[in-house]
Amino acid sequence: MGKTIMITGAGTGLGKGAAIGLAKEGHKVIASVEKDFQIGELREAVQEAGTDLEIFKMDITNSEDRESMKKYSYDIFVANAAINEGGPIWEMPMENIRRLFEINVFGTLETARIAAEHFVSKREGKIIFISSKAEKMSSAYKGLYSSSKHALGAIAKAMKGEMEEFNVQVATINPGRFGTGFNDRAVEANWKWFDENKHHTSLDKLKASGDSLNHQLNPQMMIDKMVEIIPMDHHKFREVYPEDTAEDMREEEKKDWDMEI
């Protein structure tokens, strides 16, 4: 039986692919996009895919936009919208850090709270936060994004316990590194503010931090996995894909206990 699924950040990448994929599987999909022009772009992609879904504009950091969520009824809410930026967290402009947290943590939480209220009134529902392998794998020049996803993971775990009495499920999906352009844009963002004459971090080290972009996976693999997991009635609290990414996360956590300075 088809579910009604709302997903944020459906204008690009995994969110866009999952929204279309879920609609093709017979689910009713309500997709939000950040920018007005993305409505037309997504509508074209949906038509090309031979399916249909409802689209509305919602910048999750905009309180008026978030009110639009309250017009809809849905069975599952997928908090997918996010941005990424890399660089030395001790030298990055604080406004960049605050902006990323405003989107990845605070805006995401505010939409999830609206969904939570909706589900509590129905006494059923499911909230899925799209996290990342980065949730457990902070490293040099990637600490900003990792810290935002670490916060999101903690929020999701707390909400899972808090919402069980209302018959509301809470989970995360943690993708590995997939070639949607999301990670590439994060690396490019480094150079917008970096000044060799002003900042201390080695430019060579910054460039080297982007080398992993050469080893990104086919995003369709992750899209297919999201389409499979999102409508399920039961699955793990933290769904990591692919499996070797899950193993990387486990190993990273083990290393943290033995790390010395």
**What is the distance between the terminal CA atoms of the chain, rounded to a whole angstrom?**
54
pLDDT tens digits along 122-167: 999 999 999 999 999 999 999 999 999 999 999 999 999 999 999 9
Cα(208)–Cα(205) distance, rounded to whole angstroms?
A: 5
DSSP-assigned letters across all residues of 128-146: EEE--GGGG---TT-HHHH
Mean pLDDT of 179-187: 65
Angle in degrees, CA 112, 117, 118, rounded to 5? 95
Average pLDDT in the 180-197 region?
A: 72
Closest CA to 138 of 128, 148, 130: 148
Dihedral class, residue 141 (left if φ above 0, else alpha if ψ from -120 to 50, else beta): left
* Count of other CB atoms within 10 angstroms of residue 169: 20
Q: What is the average per-residue pLDDT within 86-98?
A: 95
Which of residues 102 and 217 earns the better pLDDT score? 102
What is the residue extent of each domain of the chain?
Answer: 4-252
Distance CA 188, CA 131 (A): 21
- Give 30's contacts (C-beta < 8 A, 6+ positions apart): 4, 5, 6, 7, 53, 54, 56, 72, 74
pLDDT value, residue 216: 80
What are the backbone dihedrals phi and psi of residue 54, each rounded to the nearest 5 degrees, phi first? Answer: -95, 135
What dotted CATH number matches 4-252? 3.40.50.720
